[in-house]
A and B are shown apart, each in its own frame.
Chain A
Amino acid sequence: MRPYEYIRSSSPAEALRANAASEKPHYLGGGTNLIDLMKEDVERPDTLIEVSGLDFQSVTANAAGGYTLGAMISNTDTANHPEVKNNYPLLSMAMVSAATEQIRNMATNGGNLLQRTRCPYFYETSMPCNKREPGSGCGALTGMNALHAIFGWSKSCVAVNPSDMCTALAALGATVVVLQPDGGSERRIPFADFHRLPGDTPEKDTNLEPGELIVGIELGEPKFSDNYYYLKIRERSSYAFALVSVAAGLQLDGNRIVDAGLAMGGVAHKPWKLTAAEEYLRGKVPEAAVFEEAAERAMADARPLDDNEYKVEMGKKAIVRALMQAYERTA
């Protein structure tokens, strides 16, 4: 990889300052994605600012009646944390389905929010990719796109967000807390606005401003702690990205759905919240026909590419299955 400077920051202020002082800085968490991308010559920072040791290491109760996840906690420790398992088991379930134990031990929550796509055109520097090299074209659009988006893509980019954690966060709803480079004032970004669709600027995955540092993920009141399921369809049992995944949570009152959280992974440039299906489900009696109708509504505006028509059918089946598993958990 290219030579770079390494700085271990001991405070958020120091990290922000170091960032402002460099030409092409990058914060370093667990490095599970960034270091790979540097080896591949896709990411070319001149300075790495280590932030994984900063004091955002705990799960703490917050004013919203829920818990805030420190950005520097490992994915493993987050998924296994008692407050996370008890209050947001959907998140825990999604997180342990990701990658491998070894990678989860290294990966941080902040870093997970910034995972980059696994589109092979993005990784191979000899192929065109607007995300890596704006203006070079989208190789996948006219090439191989079986693993790509069916929602929200543009002619510039058909890549998908690979994160399991983020799919669950989209279903649960969350707020990303960041420190701004102007001296560390806080900015709070609703999760739905954190990731972007590609549009004409696929090089931007998120709405983070340059230099901003993620310090926490704020969750509201405990949600879907009885009826939840994370279904991940993949080509092997572990260490594979989702072809399609579904995070499903149901809040039941007797035999009626009071609230539903539903999001899909592996289908769009951002975790894809299934708002129409969620709305449809509220007030319904949970049963197969209702879940099937929800799936139809969720997939109504899917726009498959040449090679990924299968994701529409697979997506419907995955939604129905995830809802059924969530419902049957206590029923």
Chain B
Amino acid sequence: MNKIQEPKAAIGQAIDRVEGRLKVTGRAKYASEFPVEGVVYAQGLNSTVAKGRITRIDTAEAERQPGVMKVITHQNALKLATPDEKLLKLDTKAIAPVLQSPEIHWYGEFVGVVVAETFEQAQHAARLVKFEYEKDEHRTEYKDAGEDDSYAPSEDMQHRRGDVEAGMAKADARVEVTYRTPVEHHHPMELHAVIAEWDGEKLKVYMPAQMVNDATIGISDTFQIPKENVHVISPFLGGGFGSKLQAQEHVMLGAMAAKMVDRPVQLTVTRQQMFTNTGLRQENFQRMQLGATRDGKLTALVHDTLSHTSTEKEYQEPCGAASKMLYQAPNARITHRLVPINLPYPWAMRAPGEATGAYALECALDELAWKLNMDPVELRIINDTQVDPSNDKPFSSRLLNECLRIGAKRFGWDERPKEPRSRREGNWLVGYGVSSASRAAPLQKSAAKIILERDGDNLQATVQTDATDIGTGSYTIIAQTAADYLGLPVERVAVELGNSDFPTSAGSGGSWGAASFTNGVRSACLNITDTLVTLAGHDSTQGDDLVTLMKKADLTRHEAEGSASPTEEFDDYSVYSFGANFAEVWVDADTGMSRLKRILSVGSAGTILNPKTAYSQVLGGLVMGLGMTFMEQSKVEPNHGNFITRSLSDYHVPVNLDLADIQVVFLPEEDKIANPMGVKGIGELGIVGVASALANAVFNATGKRMRDLPITPEKLIATELEPGLARK
């Protein structure tokens, strides 16, 4: 193949979303909106104890209700595949057996499902099924867990380099603190839902799936049917944030119900069930130790994370991920330990590890800077490295220092109050905070198909891939990519996504979507061009466009597939996106209410495919980070083991009035090692470091170190000034 000239006509343009009109006019179909003939409705039932077993079930009253077709519990459920091991590690392809035993492992676990002719009938009857339990003592607390009470999940979650004790001994300044982050829930706007329709041994499933192929595998393995018998349809998702990475239990519940009543079944997970049945971000206790010389050079870095997992499945949020690679610390220890408890299984939530880990790392650095009497921006710059210290590989590109320097200038960092609690505006205390951000920029194997249809001189292209749009604009960046690599205007490209009949993509997750999808589409475009060249009898395009080539080949329709995989040299590098956040926060001196005044995010993330959708992505991350900082938390009731925050009126996420002056800047960056198009993910980068920039600004404003998220008015009132700070 000739050396490719990478085009940039549509790519890099801030065009409007090609799918935008469909969405705002309600014509974009989400899973539960597909009209399926003969559909009936299912309502899941949840356990009301946190540990024990079901001893008796009375379904009589529920079954007597009008419209009720079936009540399914473990007593009459279909047998599903069960895991080989007791502790099944979660992966996105995993089976999800449900209703297979009377044992209860957490409050809110699915214990049954009612199927009825109408949604209302199913909901009503669901209230009337009576369960009796033999209750065991449950465990939801674990913060004092010791070595013999917790376990290390796997070796690759642990990292050691150098001699931490020696490094700490050499230090002129030390920080030793523990940060806590609470349980959070994903709560995408779109509820999880499924419509399942069997045709003999074939199953059609409408569901919001971030990774269509993995969902297909999970479903086929759970029901023990061939993968090709499972057809997953997921053209649009109303957000996922990780909770839709896998076909979870409710999908199997819907499919099981459909099989048992021999009708298509729609099951929607309620907002309350989104707390108990679709994953969560773990509560984490992160113990940080930093040591540095007088001039700010890190001599040692320790990041020990203690988290919980469910008693049935294992998931560890990799909180130490950034601590491993972000700074040049010669001596480091990164550990993760888990305690199995009676809470729903944890699961990846936007920037798993980095979002929470950066809160601990970047706040600890701020504490160190204050001890060293050093500008926190300078402390970060001094400890920059162009080589990943965890594996000695060079970074494929890393503009962290540029992000920090340019950000500081644009933000007016030199106006920062030099002493904590020294600037007042009326009743408000004013503070500035900074943080670094990093997030791996992986590429996963991703395929796509291009279909060209020619009518005279008019050419229409269609792209098909099982890639998904989780609300981010995948349709748009794929259309831009195909347009450029086919030499067509964007209007001539139709994009079809989220269907397991289409070529397998990487799916949306782990910030690999944009890079993987577009590079896969690029390959398909190059392939279709190459085959047309051959069919036209040329050695190269000879400057002909696709219409001319198709005419020469006497074709009105042509299709080809292509696939992208990481380059060979990818493994020789550490590939990450980087960024810096600068925030100004005002805190009411008396009431403890905090306001984000402005925030600037500067990112370096390779080729920005569409500045408009990229801005939206990072904006969403910043807002989610704002929620993480000041309000988001799921509280566990100790006596009953359930979440007492159980709706969006008491699980607080930011409202419009909480937002501020939000600026997003991307630095120009070319990274051909990441992938041919130089695209790096930004889906998660935006949230990373936000909580630390804001918490550091709160310290600068108030002189209070807030080491327990969220930073609520009651905590600010109850927290003392940092020792050494006189109240001003």
Interface residues of A (CB under 8 A from B): 1-3, 41, 100, 118, 120-121, 123-124, 126-127, 139, 142-144, 146, 231, 233-241, 243, 309-311, 313-314, 317-318, 320-321
Given known contacts A123-B646, A235-B652, A243-B713, A321 and B639 CB-to-CB distance under 8 angstroms = no
Interface of A is mostly: loop
The interface on chain B, measured as residues whose beta carbon lies within 8 A of the other chain's beta carbons, has a size of 37
Interface of B is mostly: loop
| B657 and A238 contact, CB distance less than 8 A | yes
Given known contacts A2-B124, A118-B650, A310-B717, A144 and B591 CB-to-CB distance under 8 angstroms = no
| A233 and B593 contact, CB distance less than 8 A | yes
Cα(A117)–Cα(B713), bound, Å = 21
B635 within 8 A of A: yes
| A231 and B127 contact, CB distance less than 8 A | no
* List of 9 A-B pairs having minimum Cβ-Cβ separation, nearest first: A237-B657, A126-B48, A120-B644, A317-B590, A310-B714, A238-B655, A238-B657, A237-B658, A233-B591
Of B123, B124, B591, B630, the residue contacting A314 (CB under 8 A) is: B591
Interface residues of B (CB under 8 A from A): 48, 120, 123-124, 127, 427, 590-593, 595, 630-631, 635, 637-640, 642, 644-647, 649-650, 652, 654-658, 710, 712-714, 717-718
Given known contacts A127-B637, A239-B655, A318-B591, A120 and B650 CB-to-CB distance under 8 angstroms = yes
| B714 and A243 contact, CB distance less than 8 A | yes
Cα(A243)–Cα(B590), bound, Å = 14
Question: What's the minimum C-beta distance from B407 to chain A, rounded to whole angstroms?
Answer: 26
| B717 and A314 contact, CB distance less than 8 A | yes
Question: Which residues of B lie under 8 Å from residue A237 when comparing CB positions?
Answer: 595, 655, 657-658
Of B124, B654, B714, the residue contacting A236 (CB under 8 A) is: B654
Cα(A3)–Cα(B591), bound, Å = 45
| A144 and B644 contact, CB distance less than 8 A | yes
Cα(A240)–Cα(B630), bound, Å = 13
Question: Which residues of B lie under 8 Å from residue A118 when comparing CB positions?
Answer: 649-650
| B590 and A310 contact, CB distance less than 8 A | no
Interchain residue pairs with CB less than 8 A apart (14): A2-B124, A118-B650, A121-B644, A126-B640, A139-B637, A142-B639, A144-B635, A144-B637, A233-B593, A237-B657, A241-B649, A310-B718, A314-B592, A321-B427
Cα(A108)–Cα(B637), bound, Å = 33
The residue of chain B having its C-beta at the shortest distance from the C-beta of A239 within the complex is B655
Question: Which residues of A lie under 8 Å from residue B712 when comparing CB positions?
Answer: 235
Question: Which residues of B lie under 8 Å from residue A143 when comparing CB positions?
Answer: 637-640, 644
The residue of chain B having its C-beta at the shortest distance from the C-beta of A121 within the complex is B644
Question: Which residues of B lie under 8 Å from residue A309 when comparing CB positions?
Answer: 718
The residue of chain A having its C-beta at the shortest distance from the C-beta of B49 within the complex is A126
| A144 and B638 contact, CB distance less than 8 A | yes
Cα(A124)–Cα(B637), bound, Å = 12
Among B630, B717, B718, the one with the most A-chain Cβ atoms within 10 Å of its Cβ is: B717
Question: Which residues of A lie under 8 Å from residue B644 when comparing CB positions?
Answer: 120-121, 124, 143-144
Of A1, A100, A124, A235, the residue contacting B642 (CB under 8 A) is: A124
Question: What's the minimum C-beta distance from B109 to chain A, rounded to whole angstroms?
Answer: 13
A-B contacts at CB below 8 angstroms, number: 96
The residue of chain B having its C-beta at the shortest distance from the C-beta of A240 within the complex is B652
Cα(A313)–Cα(B720), bound, Å = 13
| B591 and A231 contact, CB distance less than 8 A | yes
Question: What's the minimum C-beta distance from B570 to chain A, rounded to whole angstroms?
Answer: 42
Cα(A261)–Cα(B642), bound, Å = 41
Given known contacts A118-B650, A120-B644, A235 and B631 CB-to-CB distance under 8 angstroms = yes
Question: Which residues of B lie under 8 Å from residue A239 when comparing CB positions?
Answer: 649, 655
Question: What's the minimum C-beta distance from B590 to chain A, rounded to whole angstroms?
Answer: 4
| A320 and B590 contact, CB distance less than 8 A | yes
| A127 and B640 contact, CB distance less than 8 A | yes
| A321 and B591 contact, CB distance less than 8 A | yes
Question: What's the minimum C-beta distance from A210 to chain B, rounded to whole angstroms?
Answer: 25
Question: What's the minimum C-beta distance from B559 to chain A, rounded to whole angstroms?
Answer: 48
Given known contacts A123-B646, A320-B590, A236 and B123 CB-to-CB distance under 8 angstroms = no
Cα(A41)–Cα(B46), bound, Å = 15
The residue of chain B having its C-beta at the shortest distance from the C-beta of A126 within the complex is B48
Among A2, A120, A146, A240, the one with the most B-chain Cβ atoms within 10 Å of its Cβ is: A120
Question: What's the minimum C-beta distance from A257 to chain B, rounded to whole angstroms?
Answer: 21
The residue of chain B having its C-beta at the shortest distance from the C-beta of A309 within the complex is B718
Question: Which residues of B lie under 8 Å from residue A243 when comparing CB positions?
Answer: 713-714
Cα(A121)–Cα(B714), bound, Å = 21
Question: What's the minimum C-beta distance from A151 to chain B, rounded to whole angstroms?
Answer: 17
| A314 and B642 contact, CB distance less than 8 A | no
Question: What's the minimum C-beta distance from B221 to chain A, rounded to whole angstroms?
Answer: 33
Question: What's the minimum C-beta distance from A313 to chain B, rounded to whole angstroms?
Answer: 6
Question: Which residues of B lie under 8 Å from residue A238 when comparing CB positions?
Answer: 655-658
Question: What's the minimum C-beta distance from A239 to chain B, rounded to whole angstroms?
Answer: 5
The residue of chain A having its C-beta at the shortest distance from the C-beta of B270 within the complex is A39
Question: Which residues of A lie under 8 Å from residue B124 when comparing CB positions?
Answer: 1-3
| A236 and B652 contact, CB distance less than 8 A | yes
Cα(A41)–Cα(B43), bound, Å = 15
Cα(A251)–Cα(B638), bound, Å = 47
The residue of chain A having its C-beta at the shortest distance from the C-beta of B126 within the complex is A41
Cα(A123)–Cα(B637), bound, Å = 14
Question: What's the minimum C-beta distance from B108 to chain A, rounded to whole angstroms?
Answer: 10
Question: Which residues of A lie under 8 Å from residue B590 when comparing CB positions?
Answer: 317-318, 320-321
Cα(A234)–Cα(B196), bound, Å = 43
The residue of chain A having its C-beta at the shortest distance from the C-beta of B715 within the complex is A310
Among A118, A235, A313, the one with the most B-chain Cβ atoms within 10 Å of its Cβ is: A235
